[in-house]
Structure formats: structure tokens, C-alpha cells
Amino acid sequence: MKDSKKDTVKKSMLTACIKLADLGFLAGVGGNLAVRINSELMAVTPSATDYYTMKPDDLCILQIKDLKMVEGTKQPTTESGLHAAFFKLRPEIEVSLHTHQPLASAVSLLGLDMDIESSEGKKNIGNLIRIVPYAPSGTSFLVSAFKNKINKDTNGYLLRNHGLVCGAFTLEQAIANVKLVEKEAARFLRKRIEKNTNLSYMPNSVKEQLLSTL
């Protein structure tokens, strides 16, 4: 890979990270991003680095097959294994994005697959967001659980009690996809609240206030 292309990828990743941080989807040092460079390499964000101060040289270049770092001075994200698994099993995917966005993360606490209703969401993500069973963050157990759920029919996965992993063909589409997921999560939560008879004890004013936040 030529240096000019590598530099372009890094700059694009930094721009995307700032956009996602501004949206509140990459809060503090939470969440991470990976971009496929070629069939063998991927660029990933570093661990424990604020997105607003991140520099091109902070990004890490890893081998997809074994996560060996071939370029970089910082520790790569602990979720590199998730991104590598996505790239291995979905060779057409160019971007793997892990967010801690508020509403999608709230849905992940329910342990349920989340259906997608919008035509745009179905086109770019699939008919549903699949739930991945809980496993500790940054472990081989989580990577294994994630690999067992990956299929060609969906580009979105909820990590139980954790957040979202979304795949895309471009960085722009990845950002659009997680924004779509957040809208779908609001709709999903609103519908469950409205239908939940266990909330019958709740005063209507309180219930309406809760629904208005979604």
C-alpha cells in the first residue's frame, strides 16, 4: 500500500471519529473503529485515546489474520479481534464500527434481536440487528460469540450489555448506518414501553415524559 493511500485512510478515520464523537456515539475513549486496507491489513483506533486529540500516527495497522501490529506506537483497541472477525467472515465489508451510542446500548440490555422497519435501514443494515450473548469486553470469548452470529444478511449486531457493532462499505455509510440504528432503537424502545402492561402503575404524565425522550 502506498503511503499516500495509507495517509488518506488515516485522515478519513480521524474525521469520522470526530463526527461520531460529536454525535455522542464515541464518548470519551469508548468505542472504536477499523478500516480494511487490503485483504491482509486493517487500520484500527488505539486504546484509551481521546478522539478529539487523536493524531494520524496514533492509529495502528494490524494484520487481519493474527492481529500482529505492523505499524503504530500505541496499543490498538482491545476490540481489534471483533473487527478482524468481521473482516474475515464478511470480505466485502470495508469498515467495522463499534459504538456505545445511548439508545442502541439501552436495547442491548434487553438481550433481544431488534427489528428494522425503515426501507433505508433494511437496505443498508438488514431486517434486524442480531443480539450477541454477553461476554467480557476485549476477550476471546466475546470474539467467539460475535463470530457465531455474523452472517451475510445483516450488517448490525448488538453486544449484550455493551453496545453496537456495525459494518459498511464506506466510512460515510458506517456513520449513516449507526445513525439509522439509533432512530430504529428509539422506535423499538417506544413500542415496547407503549405495549408493556407492567407499566400500568406508572402515571400517564410520567409515561408520556419517558416516551418524549425517545
In this prediction, residue 199 carries a pLDDT of 55
Reading the block at residue 7, the C-alpha cell is 495517509
In this prediction, residue 194 carries a pLDDT of 83
pLDDT, average across residues 117-146: 96
Please tell me the pTM assigned to this model.
0.90
pLDDT, average across residues 18-28: 90
Which residues are paired to 96 by β-bridges? 34, 167
Q: How many helices (H) and strands (E) does the chain have?
A: 7, 9
In this prediction, residue 208 carries a pLDDT of 62
Who's near 38: CB < 8 A, 6+ residues apart? 1
pLDDT, average across residues 100-122: 95
pLDDT, average across residues 195-207: 59
What's the CA gap between 107 and 138, in Å, rounded? 21
For residue 45, the tally of other CB atoms under 10 A from its CB is 29
pLDDT band at 193; cut points 50, 70, 90: confident
Does pLDDT of 205 surpass 80? no
What's the CA gap between 63 and 37, in Å, rounded? 10
Question: Interhelix angle for 171-195 vs 204-212, to 10°?
Answer: 170
Helix intervals (H) in the chain:
3-23, 80-89, 102-108, 119-124, 140-147, 171-195, 204-212
Q: To the nearest whole number, what is the mean pLDDT of the chain?
A: 91
pLDDT, average across residues 158-186: 97
Q: Which residue has the higher pLDDT, 213 or 125?
A: 125
Reading the block at residue 121, the C-alpha cell is 435501514
pLDDT, average across residues 128-152: 97
Who's near 72: CB < 8 A, 6+ residues apart? 46, 57, 58, 59, 60, 61
Does pLDDT of 27 surpass 80? no
Reading the block at residue 72, the C-alpha cell is 503504530
Contact 23, 179 (CB under 8 A): yes
Q: Measuring CA to CA, how many Å separate 159 from each of 14, 32, 59, 77, 129?
A: 24, 14, 24, 16, 10
Render the burial of 175-196: b for 16+ CB within 10 Å, e for the rest.
Answer: bbbbebbbbbbbbbbbeeeeee
Does pLDDT of 120 surpass 90? yes
pLDDT band at 79; cut points 50, 70, 90: very high
User: Which range, 23-32, 46-55, 145-154, has the best average confidence (pLDDT)?
Assistant: 145-154
Does pLDDT of 1 surpass 50? no
Does pLDDT of 22 surpass 60? yes
